[in-house]
Amino acid sequence: MLTQDGSVITIPPTESLLSSVEAHSVTVVSEDGTEGQVCRLLGIVNLRSKQVYLCLCLTSASPSLFQPLFKGIVLSHNLCTILRIPHNTSALEEHFKDDDEGPVSTQGYMPYLNMCILNKIQANFDFNELNKMCWTLSAPKHISGKHLLISGVDAFKVWCIFNYLSEDKYPLQIVIEELEYFLRKLFAAMGCSWNEGRFEDYKMHLSAKKKHLNAWELIELIGMGHFTKGINPQTLSMGINEVYRELVMDVIKQGYMMKKGHKRKNWTERWFELHLNYMSYYVSEDLIEQKGCISLDRNCCVESLPDKDGKKNLFIIKCVEKSFEISASDKKTKQEWIQGIKHLYTKQGLSSPHRESRQKRRELRNRIKAEKETMESRMRQLQLANESKQAQLEAMNKEASSRGDLEEQRRLQTQIELLDQYRRDLAQEKMARMQMEEQVVEKANEVEQYWQRMQELEDMYRQLKKALDDERQAKEDEEALSKLQARLLQQEASKRLELEQIHLQQQEILTQSQKEKQELERERAEKERALQAAQEQLEILRRQREGAQEEYKVVTKKLERAANKTKTWKHKVFKHEGLLQIIQPGNKSPTRMTNWGQAAFTETELDELERIWQENKNRSHDAQ
């Protein structure tokens, strides 16, 4: 990596010096090829020492950059403060004295940094503070003049993500596979669809020049909206923050849940974040005020609880000192938190899942790269072998050309002798050919005659074959006609039988119809006679009814006259008898009672009248 004075920095990784610490050596190589001082950067296993490297490369890559001594003093003081290394300001000033006696003057700043600061590093320092210091030193030189669509905080988070995903070789670069991994996670966090075609176009464009990006190119790619054009800046900021917290801050899961207090026993909503070894909770998702931290070790356990106190989806985290009751928003969220915490028990002492995934991706790339280098080495070996073979062939060709001159002379002499022999043989061949031509002419005449006879025989054979074919076809036609005629005769006979049967059936049907018709006519005549007799009887009955009605009227009139006469006579008799007889109770004769009261005549008189009426009626019937 080139610095401001033209020096090149190469940092090959070295073996770890401590069980929890890994080391990287920084070698400063000048333009003339001589190596300068070497410093060792110590960091945690997750390679966060890259931030220190970036800071040093951009601010103190060469001793010439530290000619103003106060810059080295300030940087050393800040590093000791952030890395929690005990230091003395006056001792630092003594180290930077320009008297050719201090360690900086005699050895240079890089060995001093390695010996006096980085060798004393502790594993419990705050990497966030180190990130912020390195960002403060390096960012103004690269992004101050650019008009980014993201804030400085988001640019810082993208820078931290770059340090996490970059390769373990310097200068730090992010390869195209890790860039795709980051962009996919960013789009998933924003809830946007991934545009595969657009990224493929960008990958082809990038592969034409190089296959990696540095930190500032990545920030420019995200900040200029190359892939996020049209997306709300707030959504983009939230997506960057989520990816940052997952990858850099080791946040495995996060979200709002209700927590039961230990003193007041009330339920309060908190923002929870699950890390590899602990779970912290805050007042809100801005993470300004942390309310507590739950240490997760092998002595902790998580269990599901039944619903109680009006709270649902409960689970409890039991630790050595206290227990924490938590209520999730739904069953799915509750199960995800329980499974996530249980999964951490099995991962105690191991790295986070996305760090394992990053290591697997790197191993896969290294394996592919090694296979590619092996293949290229084989190709180079084959090419060298091919070149050596070509050289041997050229040498053999030269040797063969020198031997070929002598052989050419011998070959020419042999050809001259052979040519004379060929001439003699040619003369003999001419004579033999002339004789052969005469014989050929004779044979040709014979062949012509034979050919004519063959043509005549073939014509006769064709005519005979045609006649035979005609005769065979005629026989076949005759047989077909006879078969057709027999079939037609058989069909005609069967049709005649069918017609005769149909005719007989029709005759039977006609005979049956005539019989049925005669029977129907006889029945109709009988019914007509019966109808006429019934009509005549009906007419007689009608006349009898009319005669009876007339007689009834006459009798009714006679009865009325008789009744009137009887009534009159009875009145007269009663009147005369009443005058002649002594007044005494009279006999009550049986009288007929009707619905109108006492009748005008007695039962005896009524019977007499009915008898007379019946006799008159019988005489009228006899007269008819």
Percentage of the chain exceeding pLDDT 90? 2
Is pTM beyond 0.75? Reply is: no
Check: CB of residue 232 under 8 Å from CB of residue 239: no
Q: What is the pLDDT of residue 364?
A: 84
Q: ∠ at Cα 101 (96, 106), nearest 5°?
A: 80
CATH class, 255-351 region: mainly beta
Is the pLDDT assigned to residue 257 strictly greater than 90? yes
Decide if 214 contacts 2 (C-beta within 8 A): no
Q: What is the fold, at CATH topology level, of the domain defined by 146-250? A: Recoverin; domain 1 (1.10.238)
Which helix (H) or strand (E) is 344 found in, with range?
helix 331-346
Residue 229's contacts (CB-CB under 8 Å, 6 or more residues apart) are: none
List beta partners, residue 279.
274, 294
Distance CA 296, CA 274 (A): 10
- The crossing angle, in degrees rounded to 10, of helices 176-190 and 196-209 is 150
DSSP 8-state assignment for residue 120: G
What is the pLDDT, as a whole number, of residue 598?
Answer: 65
- Residue 254: what pLDDT? 86
**Tokens 């009605």 label which residue?**
549
Helix, strand counts (H, E) of the chain: 14, 14
Residue 63 has pLDDT above 70, yes or no: no
Instruction: Tell me the average pLDDT across 288-316.
Output: 87
Q: Is the pLDDT of residue 19 over 60?
A: no
Check residue 45 and give its pLDDT: 28
Rounded Cα–Cα distance for residues 417 and 434 (Å): 26
Which of 38-42, 83-87, 234-238 has the highest average model confidence (pLDDT)?
234-238
Question: Which residue shows structure tokens 């707030």?
Answer: 234
- CA atoms in the 13 A half-sphere facing the CB of 525: 5
Q: How confident is the model at residue 288 (pLDDT cuts 50, 70, 90)?
A: confident
Place 105 in a pLDDT band, splitting at 50, 70 and 90: low
CA distances from 56 to 24, 109, 113, 171 (A): 13, 11, 10, 12
Residue pair 53/34 in contact (Cβ under 8 Å)? The answer is no
- The terminus-to-terminus CA distance of the chain in angstroms comes to 158
Question: Does residue 182 surpass a pLDDT of 80?
Answer: yes
Give the 3-state secondary structure of residue 148. coil
Average pLDDT, the chain: 76
Give the span between the Cα atoms of 376 and 386, in whole angstroms: 15
Q: What confidence tens digit (pLDDT) does each residue in 481-533 have? A: 888 888 888 888 888 888 888 889 888 888 888 888 888 888 888 888 888 88
Q: What is the mean pLDDT of residues 400-404?
A: 73
Residues 6+ apart with CB under 8 A from 39: 25, 26, 56, 110, 111, 113, 114, 118
DSSP state of 282: E
The pair of three-digit structure tokens given for residue 613, joined into one six-digit string: 């009426």
Give the pLDDT of residue 619: 80
pLDDT at 417 over 70: yes
Name which of 7, 140, 106 is nearest 64 in CA terms.
7
> What mean pLDDT comes out for the span 206-221?
79
What's the pLDDT tens digit per position in 1-11? 323 333 333 33
Rounded to an integer, what distance in angstroms lies between the CA atom of residue 443 and that of residue 435?
Answer: 12
Residue 40: pLDDT over 60 = no
The span from the CA of 249 to the CA of 240, in Å, is: 12
User: For position 349, what pLDDT does the model report?
Assistant: 58
Residue 176 confidence (pLDDT) above 90 = no
CA separation for the pair 142, 95 (Å, rounded): 31
pLDDT of residue 103: 66
pLDDT at 595: 64
Q: What does DSSP say about strands 301-305 and 314-318: parallel, antiparallel, or unpaired?
A: antiparallel
Check residue 164 and give its pLDDT: 84
Q: How far apart are CA 107 and CA 117, in angstroms?
A: 14
For residue 533 the two structure tokens come to: 């007799």
Residue from 59, 107, 98 nearest 79 by CA: 59
**Average pLDDT of the residues in 266-293:** 88
Residue 16's pLDDT is what?
28
**How confident is the model over 491-501, as pLDDT tens digits?**
888 888 888 88
Please give the backbone phi and psi of residue 48, each rounded to the nearest 5 degrees, phi first: -75, -5
Q: Where are the domains of the chain?
A: 1-138, 146-250, 255-351
- Give the pLDDT of residue 557: 85
pLDDT at 558 over 70: yes
Say how far apart CA 554 and CA 537 lie, in whole Å: 25
Alpha helices, DSSP H, located in 96-126:
103-107, 109-112
- The label of the residue with tokens 């077909």 reads 480
26 has a pLDDT exceeding 70: no
CA dist 462 to 52, 305, 467, 472, 473, Å? 109, 109, 9, 15, 16
Which tens digit of pLDDT belongs to each residue from 348-399?
A: 656 667 777 788 888 888 888 888 888 888 888 888 888 888 888 888 877 7
- In 385-478, DSSP assigns E strands to none
Taking 3-state DSSP, the helix, strand and coil percentages for the chain, each rounded to the nearest 5, stand at: 65, 15, 20
Q: Write down the pLDDT at residue 64.
A: 40
Q: What is the token pair recorded at 328?
A: 């999730």
Quick one: what percent of the chain has pLDDT higher than 70?
A: 79
